[in-house]
Structures are given as structure tokens and as C-alpha cells.
Chains A and B, each alone.
Chain A
Amino acid sequence: MRWITLTILLLPLLSFLLLIGGRKWRSRGLVAGIGVLTSYGAFHLSSYLLMNMIQKKTQVVISMPWLTLSDQVVHLGIKIGALQAVMLVLVSLVSCLVQIYSWGYMRDDERFPVFFAYLGLFTFSMLGLVSSANLLQIYIFWELVGLCSFLLIGYWYYKPEARDAAKKAFIVTRIGDVGFFIAILMIFWKIGSFELDAVSKAVSTGTISGVWVTWIAILILIGAIGKSGQFPLHTWLPDAMEGPTPVSALIHAATMVTAGIYLVAATFPVFLASSYALDIVSYIGGFTAIFAACIALVQTDIKRVLAYSTVSQLGYMMLALGSKGYVEGIFHLVTHGFFKALLFLAAGAVIVSLHHEQDLRKMGGLWKKNRGLAIWFLIGCFALVGLPPFSGFFSKDEILQTVYMDGRIGLFVLALITVFLTAFYVFRLYHLIFAGTSRTEQKNTPVPKVMMVPIAILGLLSTLAGFVQFPKAYFSSFLLQGSKLASLTSEAAPAWIGWVAVLFSLFGVGLATLLYWRGYQPAKPRVGLIGWAHRILEQKFYIDQLYHYVFALPLKGLGYFLIGWDRFVVGGLVRLVGLVPVGLSRIASMLQNGQTQTYALVSLIGFILLVIGVTVGRFFS
């Protein structure tokens, strides 16, 4: 089993190395073939591993010493438990499908091999992240995932928006990473180990005190917030839509954003030990869910609607985890992986057939022209909205039950409202694309067959994936095997929750259909409260602007201040004091432009301030 696990990891890396070496290769079939085959190999072996674990209930553990710092040995290690096996399958499967799809989507791109090389590296990083046995190693892959997303979002670097979006994604997620890294250092300080096992053991035996557990949990959560695009660090995710659509699918379904959820799940014992941390996780999740859903209501870019929908659905997962719903969170992660990948790939097909038009206001009438695509898209929509028997219904229903049983009724109501909002924006999206008549003159381009295959596979999975938990909870029992985490979802959860959720979503679908089934209506002049609300939503609650004024400008100001201080304040002082020395010697005065004295004076002032600063207390105390 160890060799199989290692091979799973190394296959995408091999693809990366081969393709980056062969970035001048002309044959697209060869390039895509390498990418698809290696990721399929990873998927095949991962499924084999998963099957094996289901039957034999074993774990794979590999570990070797890496470095010794004082007396603690830091290991490099792989540990595949149930959660990790599920993640391996999800990541490699989605990656494989996305690469098949990219064969068609990127066919006219000049740097075709580089694109596939990046995808390989991205897949490798994510697989490495989920199979790491210790936090330091997770952090290394965590940063690598961030780097790959930077490369891929900025893949079309000649577009200024893509460049900015890539930079934003990198920097904003780094703010979260700071939290995660501090958490790792604290864990090492308090426990003396990075191993996930050691951490959960230390928490369960109470080796570290409650305050520290809370702090560590919150800091880990900050990392997860950054990666998983939760409020208030969500701003990078919608901008990341500037990357090629297959990348969006990969980022949103299997890699990058799921890393945050995975991290919280992998360190779940820490969160369980602190009710305060669980509260924060739930509230951030619940708030992000409804917040992003609101913004999605008014977006006019097809991919941005889906992006905000991802933010919102990730909020659901956080909400589930915060309500102690370990299995529910992961279950939704998996089903969401399938249907969101489906929706993105289908959206990409829509974009291709409309000559790279992404504005919803210029679409419409695609139902008549591409029936097949419309049906697959519809399946994705049903799954996202959560209508039975599509997979989203089961996972979302379980989340709602968990939240209800956990007793935070306020959040439960928010989650229900979000169900309605989700249904509304999803079907607004659907009708704007497919209903009515076309609002552009151009003819449609046919969608390449190779792009439809992954869409169909994901469509089937989105439909059927829910049945791993129904009628019997196979998924839960597998995920919880050999673990102490208990699922709170029990038969005791009232059945009406499911019905109400379906009712809410049907209501949303109905309302959206009523408003948009004829396609896009040109905006009426909006006044009063509605217009005001619309504007706020359109501007995404002004979060970006807020960051600009609160963080970026003061920092710039500090820079100006420091330079100005050197140049003018101190310089002015010197000119005042230094009128006499200047001109003493001709040679000296030729070179003495006053600045050097300035420098000496700055240092002297610094010195005096330092002496005064650190000693003055002594004379007054």
C-alpha cells in the first residue's frame, strides 16, 4: 500500500516535470495525454486505496525523520486515513476530468504544455497536502497550492485584470497563512511536535490548557478562512475568475478552497475541545453563506455568480463543522466538488459557444441551440439548489439537521433563508443563459466533444453521489471508522427540516422563473430602498474599497512618512543647525550636500531616543 500511496503523489509531479521540460512540444495530444493519463493513474490508484480501506479498515502510514531541532525530531510523513482517502479520490478525479476538458478548452492556447504542467503541479500540491501527516508538511504544500493558484489565475498574464487577480489571490490568502503559521509555531511550542496525531492526543489528554487550545483553533481557522474564501478574506475568490475556466473548476471544486475545509476537518479535535472556537466557526460559516448568496443575486458575470455561490457553499461547510458536523461538512465538500465542477465546466462550454462572452445580459436562448448542454447545466443547478434526488439535497439537508440539532436556531434560520436565496440566484443564472431568445447577433460555436465527456461524467456523479449516505449512512460509517469523532446527526433530527428546505428552494426556483423565464429585462430605474440595496450588493458590500482605505493607504502613508522624515524633518533640522559647518572647506562643501550629515544625525537621534526610551523609566520609577 505504501508504494501505491507514493505513486499517487508522484504521478502528477512526474507530469509536471515532463511537461515543463517539454514546454516547446507541439503535439497537443501528447501533452494532454500525459496530463490526463497521470491524473487518471492517480485517480485509479486512489480509488483502489479507498476500496481497500473500506474492506480492510486499515490506514497507510509512512514516516521518516527529516530534521532534529534540539531534541525534537521533525518527520516527513504520509498518513492516509478515511478522510484523506476520500480527498485523494475527489482531487484526482476532478483533476483528471478538468484535464480532459482542458484539451478542448485550451486548444488554441500558445502555452498549452505549460498549462498542463501547472495543472499537474497543482494536483500534486493538493494531493500532498491531504496526505501529509504533520502540520509543517501541510503548511509547505499549503503554500505550494497557493503558488499554483497564483500561476494559474495569472495564466493569461497579458490581461491586467488577470495579473491583479493573481496577485490579490496570493497576498490575501497569505494573510490567512500567517494565522496558520503562528498556530503551527504555537503547537510546536506547547506540544513539541507537528504530528496531527500528537496534536489530537495532546488535546484529548488535556496537555495544553483551554486558552491555548482556543487560540490555536482560532489561528488555524484564520488560515482556513483565507484559503476557503470565507468572510472577511473572501475578496480574492471572485476575482480569481480571471483565470481560465478549467482552472476555476479545479480551484472551486477540488483544490485550493477545499484545503481550508480540509484543514479544519483534519485538526477537528482541537476545535471540538473549544466551544468558543466552534462558535466562531459556525458564525463565520453561517454569515458567509448568506452574505455571499446576497451578492450572487445581482452579479452579471456568469463565472462570478458561480464564484459567490462557491463562497456561500463553503460557508455551509464551515457552518456544519462549527456545529460539530464533521461528516456533514465533508459530505457536502464531496458533493459540492462534483456539482460545482460540473457547473463551471458547463459554464465554460457556454462561454466557448458564445465566443468568450461572459456577460449574462448578452446571453439567452441557448436552450434551443444546445439542448444537451442545457440539460447537464440544469442537473448541476438542481444539485446546487438541493432538490431531491440530486446529491446536493442530501448533503445540504444533513447540514441543516446538524445545525438545528446543535441548537443555534438563529443560524438555522439564516441557513434556510440562504437555501431560498441560492435557489433564486441559481435559476436567475439558468434562465438568463438558456431561456428566451439570444441577445447577441453572433452565431454559436459548437462545443468540442472532448469537453462534453467530463461534463457528462460529473453530471452523473452530481445526480448519484447523494446515495452514499442514503438509505443507509455508508459514508458516515466509513469516515468515522476508527475515529473518536461522533456524528451528531441522528434519527432524532425532525423530518420536517428536509421538507421545509425543499419548499424554500422550490419557492426560490419559482420566483426566479417567474421573473426571468423570458430572459433578461433591461433595468428599470431603481429608486428608494431597492435601488440602494441593489447598489450595495453590486459593489459587494464595499469590502474591497474598505480594505483599500483601511490597510493599503495607511501603509503607503507610512512609507511616505518614513522617507519624508529622513528627508525633510531631519534634513530641515540639519540645515538649521548645520549652517556653520557648511562652507568650512571648499572640497568638503562640494561633496557635502547636507545629506550625509542628515544620515549621521538620524542615527544619532535614533541613538539618543533609544537610550532615553529604555532608561527614562528607571529614573522616574
Chain B
Amino acid sequence: METFLKFGYLLLPEAIIIGSIVLLMLLDLFIPAKRSRRFFGWLALLAGLGASVALIWVWIIWKTHLDGRPIQYFDSAYLFDAVSLILKLFILLSLIFVFLLSLGNKQNSTGNSYQAEYYYLMLVALLGAWVLVSSADLITLFVGLELLSLASYILVGIRKEDQNAVEAAWKYVVLGGVASAFILYGMSFLYGMTGNTNLMEIYNSLQLSVQPEAILYIYLSFFLMLFGFGFKISAAPFHTWVADVYQGTTSAMAAFLATITKVAIFGFIVRLLLLSYLPLFYRNNWNHYLEWALMGIAILSMIVGNVLALRQTEAKRLMAYSGIAQIGYILVPLTLITLTQGMLFFRVTFFYFFAYILMVAGAFAVISQVTAQAGTGEIRAFAGLYRRNPLLAFAMSIFLISLAGFPLTAGFIGKFFLLTNAFMTKKGILLGVVMILTTILSYFYYFRFVRQMYFRQPDQPERIAIPWTLRIAITISLVGTIALALLPQLLLQLLQSLGL
């Protein structure tokens, strides 16, 4: 409580979000039901922008006045440190993209109903994601996780009149519930064996001594949680839900799931591994199994994601499978963390995540507009895009080749960093080679878009118009994707200054 009184102002961004949620809910109550609630989107966007200003202000204060040392609130249940700060930024940036996508195209978000709910639930989800990446306690972690998950379940199915969306939401709820149950079960073992819910305390008791018969349960808890996270982050072999859900929901929501959820859950995994489970990796006999489990998930994700994407003709489904592969890439440095001694881990992972957010948000922005105008989610909606809007086709090509990791795009530099990290150890070479080989496969399916855009005649000749909010989103992603490739030092320096 003392730290909270002293450094509470560092939580201003959270306060802004909570305040906006309450305000929007009240506003929704008091405005007559007949009035359009379209302006809620703008209010929510404003809240997001306000929170980003606050976040940057807090960052500067923290850096200058507190020398950037980690602050722990509420008995170290809630952290303010470099990792949480940067992940919060990524999540907020993604949310702003999602808002821009939703505002640009009514078909992308809710239709006409539930506009207000849509936007403030997004803010709730954001809050959950923020709690998730800032917690250092099992209980707050779970609260954050459920806040994020429950809000996303509703958001996926918010277009109640659309049968596909309802089905997707239903699947997501049931399977998400199963995953949450697994995580909770794992947490209970961890608590039972160590008597603590605080991650750092757990670390201490794991490092000191655990009874030999207890260790088996600790490992069980690790695998149970791995299952839950693997599911939420859509890594193979826990990936089966992801394509149906992406396909069923809107492009904006798919972008939400592909960016915000993945970043938040990944932050969670990193926290849990580094703050609690790390001693297990140094225990002989067992460390191999943990490493191989993570490596297996990474390798499987790369292979399964890329191979399954080969056969897709639906744009969002294809992005879902390619997202599985992308998670496989991102997991590579994490699986090698004990071998590389954590060297460069944060820098390369966060660099890739930033590039990933830019290119995925950009790709979904283009997909949302093109598929909405064509009235079909199939890739053939892109036929002749070059003729209908050359700049849009160019932007999409850049996002695609960035996802594939072609030079002069952020994706290339990001992948290059991941690979240099992998190639620091002998075991990593296997992962690196799998990554490079599966990347070739990805060229085949990304090429499918390119072929439609440039080599096919359009079905409708008229120009595709883009709403200005989408135009902003696409421009930011495009400029970011290219700038990050030409001047990667900018982001690297930023991460370095945070001590990552």
C-alpha cells in the first residue's frame, strides 16, 4: 500500500482506461436507446490515445525520476517494469489499430447493434491484457487472463445475427474454458507444492529445495499450464480452434486475436517461465524434457501452421494458420533461453513482436476492406486489386513479403534477429533450419494473394475506396514496416535504453 501511495501515479494509464470504461457504460445507460452509438468508437479511440500519451509520460517520469528501476505494488502482485511497459505499449498500439479498423468499416465491427458494448468491451479486454503482462502473482494473473478472455468471447460473437460469428464464439468459449481450466489446475498444483502464489516466492522455493515426491507435481503443473497457454496463443498442437474462430468473426476482431491476445499471453508465459519455473531448467535430468517440450511446440507450430496454410483459400483462415507459424518463430528464442543465458532474448523477441503487430494489423486492414467490398472472404476477392487500387495492392504486397521475411521489410530484420539468436547454440541450429525451411513454404501461400492481385482480372472494375481511418492504419503499418527495416537501430536503441 505504501508503494501504491508513493508511486501510484505510474498507473495513470490504467486509471484512464478504467475511467473510460465506466464513463462509456454510464453514457450508454443514459443515452436514449434510439440514438446512434457510433460515436462511442471515437470516444474509445480518444481514450486509447489518451492512455498512450499517459503511458509515454509515465515512461519518461519513470526513466528520469526513478532511474527505471522496477516498482512492485500490492505485495509484489503488480509490477511496473521495462517488460510490462513495452508490452503495454504494444498492446495499446494494437488496440488503436483495431479501433481504426472497426471505425473504418461497419461490416468489420458490429453492424449497427451493440456499438457501445463493442467498444467498451474492447477497453475491458485491453485492461485484462495489461494486468496479464504486469502481474507477478498467480491470482492477479488469472484475473487478467479471464478479463481478457471473457471480453474476447463476447466480442467474437457480438454480431448475434451472424450464424458463423455465433458458432465461432461458442467454440471459443468452450475451448477457451477448457484451456483456462487447465491453467487453473496447473496453478493449484504449483500453489499446493510451494505454498505461494507470488511468482518470485515460488522461484525461491523452487530454487531452494523441493521434496523429491513434490517435484513430479511441479512438472505436472508446468505441462498443464503449457497446455493452457499453448491453446490461448494458438501454438500447435493446440491450434485447432483458431481457423474457425478467425473465419467466423470480423476482420477487426481477428486482428485483435492475432495481436493483442498473442502479445499478452506471450508476456504471461515469459513472466511465468522467467520468474517461477527457471530453476527447473537448471535441474539436471529434467531440463531436457522441458526444453524439448518447448522446442517441440515451436517446431510443430512452424510445420503445422505453414503446411496447413498451403491449402487454404479463405483469407482469414490463411492468416490464422500463418499466425500459428508466426508463433512458432517467436517461441524460438524462448525455447533456447537457458542455452543462450537469456542473451538478447528480450531484444530479439520484442523486435519481432513489434514488426509482427505492424504487418499483421496492416494485412488485416487490407483484408477487411477488400473482403467487405467483394462480399466474400475467399482470396479471389483480391483478383485484380492492382488494377482497382495499385497503392493498396502495393501495401498488401509489402505486408505479405514482410510476413514471409523478405529483405527490406521489418519481418526480415525480425526473423534475422530470431535466427542469429538461434544460431548462438548448437541446439538452436535445428530450430533455425526448420524455421528457414518452413519459411519457403510460406512463400507459396502468400504468393496466392500476389497472384490474385497482379495476375488476375478484377471481377468488378471499379476502384476500391478506403475510408480514411483505414487509410491511417495502413499508412502507419506500411511506413513502420519499411522504416523498421531501414533503421532497425531506432527500436533496438529504445529497447536497449530500457535495459532489455
Residues of A within 8 A of B (CB): 65-70, 136, 139-140, 143-144, 147, 154, 157-158, 163, 167, 170-171, 174-175, 178, 181-182, 185-186, 188-189, 555-556, 558-560, 562-563, 566, 591, 595-596, 598-600, 602-607, 609-611, 613-615, 617-618
B308 in contact with A607 (CB, 8 Å): no
Chain A CB within 10 A, most for which of B219, B416, B488: B416
A188 in contact with B420 (CB, 8 Å): yes
Nearest neighbor of A186 in chain B, beta-carbon distance: B423
Q: In the bound complex, how far is the Cα of B353 from the Cα of A90, in angstroms? A: 42
Specify which chain B residues have a CB less than 8 angstroms from the CB of A563 in the assembled complex. 308, 311
Q: Does B293 contact A (CB under 8 A)?
A: yes
Within 8 A of A (CB), among B239-257: 240-241, 244
CB distance from A209 to the nearest CB of B (A): 14
B175 in contact with A596 (CB, 8 Å): yes
Residues of B within 8 A of A (CB): 167, 170-171, 174-175, 178-179, 182, 219, 223, 226-227, 230-231, 236-238, 240-241, 244, 285-286, 288-290, 292-293, 296-297, 304, 307-308, 310-311, 343-344, 347, 406-408, 412, 416-417, 419-420, 422-424, 432-433, 436-437, 440-441, 443-444, 447, 451, 454-455, 488-489, 492, 496
B240 in contact with A157 (CB, 8 Å): no
A603 in contact with B167 (CB, 8 Å): no
Nearest neighbor of A158 in chain B, beta-carbon distance: B455
B307 in contact with A559 (CB, 8 Å): yes
Given contacts A70-B344, A559-B311, A618-B289, contact A185 B419 (CB under 8 A): yes
A178 in contact with B223 (CB, 8 Å): no
Q: In the bound complex, how far is the Cα of B288 from the Cα of A140, in angstroms? A: 37
Determine which of A163, A186, A556, A614 lies in contact with B293 in the assembled complex, contact meaning CB atoms within 8 Å.
Answer: A614
Given contacts A185-B432, A558-B307, A603-B238, contact A596 B443 (CB under 8 A): no
B488 in contact with A607 (CB, 8 Å): no
B238 in contact with A614 (CB, 8 Å): no
B289 in contact with A614 (CB, 8 Å): yes
Determine which of B226, B238, B310 lies in contact with A555 in the assembled complex, contact meaning CB atoms within 8 Å.
Answer: B310
Q: In the bound complex, how far is the Cα of B484 from the Cα of A67, in angstroms? A: 11
Specify which chain B residues have a CB less than 8 angstroms from the CB of A605 in the assembled complex. 237
Given contacts A182-B432, A607-B227, A614-B293, contact A67 B437 (CB under 8 A): no
CB distance from A216 to the nearest CB of B (A): 12
A613 in contact with B454 (CB, 8 Å): no
5 closest Cβ pairs, A-B complex: A606-B237, A599-B240, A614-B289, A140-B407, A185-B423
CB distance from A163 to the nearest CB of B (A): 6
Specify which chain A residues have a CB less than 8 angstroms from the CB of B432 in the assembled complex. 182, 185
Nearest neighbor of B295 in chain A, beta-carbon distance: A614
Determine which of A66, A167, A178, A591 lies in contact with B167 in the assembled complex, contact meaning CB atoms within 8 Å.
Answer: A591
B407 in contact with A144 (CB, 8 Å): yes
Specify which chain A residues have a CB less than 8 angstroms from the CB of B416 in the assembled complex. 136
17 A-B residue pairings within 8 Å (CB atoms): A66-B489, A69-B420, A136-B416, A147-B406, A560-B311, A596-B174, A598-B240, A599-B171, A599-B175, A599-B241, A603-B238, A606-B237, A607-B182, A607-B238, A611-B223, A614-B293, A618-B286
Specify which chain B residues have a CB less than 8 angstroms from the CB of A65 in the assembled complex. 489
Specify which chain A residues have a CB less than 8 angstroms from the CB of B441 in the assembled complex. 555
Identify whether the interface residues of A are mostly helix, strand, loop, or mixed: helix
A-B Cβ contacts below 8 A, count: 142
Specify which chain B residues have a CB less than 8 angstroms from the CB of A186 in the assembled complex. 423
Nearest neighbor of B223 in chain A, beta-carbon distance: A611
A171 in contact with B440 (CB, 8 Å): yes
Q: In the bound complex, how far is the Cα of B416 from the Cα of A174, in angstroms? A: 16
A596 in contact with B171 (CB, 8 Å): yes
Q: In the bound complex, how far is the Cα of B387 from the Cα of A157, in angstroms? A: 13
Q: In the bound complex, how far is the Cα of B311 from the Cα of A560, in angstroms? A: 8
Nearest neighbor of B440 in chain A, beta-carbon distance: A174
Nearest neighbor of B439 in chain A, beta-carbon distance: A178
Specify which chain B residues have a CB less than 8 angstroms from the CB of A566 in the assembled complex. 240
Q: In the bound complex, how far is the Cα of B447 from the Cα of A605, in angstroms? A: 33
B407 in contact with A614 (CB, 8 Å): no
Given contacts A170-B443, A607-B227, A611-B223, contact A182 B436 (CB under 8 A): yes
Q: In the bound complex, how far is the Cα of B444 from the Cα of A65, in angstroms? A: 35
B492 in contact with A163 (CB, 8 Å): no
Nearest neighbor of B242 in chain A, beta-carbon distance: A599
Q: In the bound complex, how far is the Cα of B444 from the Cα of A70, in angstroms? A: 34
CB distance from B389 to the nearest CB of A (A): 15
Given contacts A562-B307, A591-B170, contact A163 B451 (CB under 8 A): yes
Given contacts A189-B424, A614-B293, contact A154 B455 (CB under 8 A): yes
Specify which chain A residues have a CB less than 8 angstroms from the CB of B237 in the assembled complex. 602-603, 605-607, 609-610
**Known A185-B420, A559-B310, A618-B286; further 8 A-B contacts with Cβ < 8 A:** A69-B344, A140-B412, A182-B432, A560-B311, A596-B171, A599-B240, A607-B238, A610-B237
Specify which chain B residues have a CB less than 8 angstroms from the CB of A143 in the assembled complex. 406-407
Q: In the bound complex, how far is the Cα of B412 from the Cα of A181, in angstroms? A: 12
Specify which chain A residues have a CB less than 8 angstroms from the CB of B170 in the assembled complex. 591, 596
CB distance from A547 to the nearest CB of B (A): 14
Q: In the bound complex, how far is the Cα of B440 from the Cα of A170, in angstroms? A: 10
CB distance from A20 to the nearest CB of B (A): 10
A70 in contact with B343 (CB, 8 Å): yes
CB distance from B429 to the nearest CB of A (A): 8
Q: In the bound complex, how far is the Cα of B455 from the Cα of A158, in angstroms? A: 7
Specify which chain B residues have a CB less than 8 angstroms from the CB of A147 in the assembled complex. 406
CB distance from A558 to the nearest CB of B (A): 5
Specify which chain A residues have a CB less than 8 angstroms from the CB of B288 in the assembled complex. 614
Specify which chain B residues have a CB less than 8 angstroms from the CB of A555 in the assembled complex. 307, 310, 441
Specify which chain B residues have a CB less than 8 angstroms from the CB of A615 in the assembled complex. 219, 289
Nearest neighbor of A591 in chain B, beta-carbon distance: B170
Q: In the bound complex, how far is the Cα of B307 from the Cα of A560, in angstroms? A: 9
CB distance from A543 to the nearest CB of B (A): 19
CB distance from A223 to the nearest CB of B (A): 12
B492 in contact with A67 (CB, 8 Å): yes
Specify which chain A residues have a CB less than 8 angstroms from the CB of B171 in the assembled complex. 595-596, 599
Specify which chain A residues have a CB less than 8 angstroms from the CB of B406 in the assembled complex. 143, 147
Nearest neighbor of A162 in chain B, beta-carbon distance: B455
A606 in contact with B238 (CB, 8 Å): yes
Given contacts A69-B344, A171-B444, A562-B308, contact A600 B489 (CB under 8 A): no
Determine which of A558, A613, A618 lies in contact with B296 in the assembled complex, contact meaning CB atoms within 8 Å.
Answer: A613
Specify which chain A residues have a CB less than 8 angstroms from the CB of B455 in the assembled complex. 154, 157-158, 163
Q: In the bound complex, how far is the Cα of B108 from the Cα of A417, in angstroms? A: 67
A600 in contact with B174 (CB, 8 Å): yes
CB distance from B432 to the nearest CB of A (A): 7
CB distance from B497 to the nearest CB of A (A): 12
B433 in contact with A182 (CB, 8 Å): yes
Specify which chain A residues have a CB less than 8 angstroms from the CB of B423 in the assembled complex. 185-186, 188-189
Specify which chain B residues have a CB less than 8 angstroms from the CB of A595 in the assembled complex. 171, 244
B178 in contact with A600 (CB, 8 Å): yes
Nearest neighbor of A170 in chain B, beta-carbon distance: B443
Chain B CB within 10 A, most for which of A136, A139, A158, A615: A615
Q: In the bound complex, how far is the Cα of B408 from the Cα of A69, in angstroms? A: 18
B433 in contact with A602 (CB, 8 Å): no
Q: In the bound complex, how far is the Cα of B413 from the Cα of A69, in angstroms? A: 11
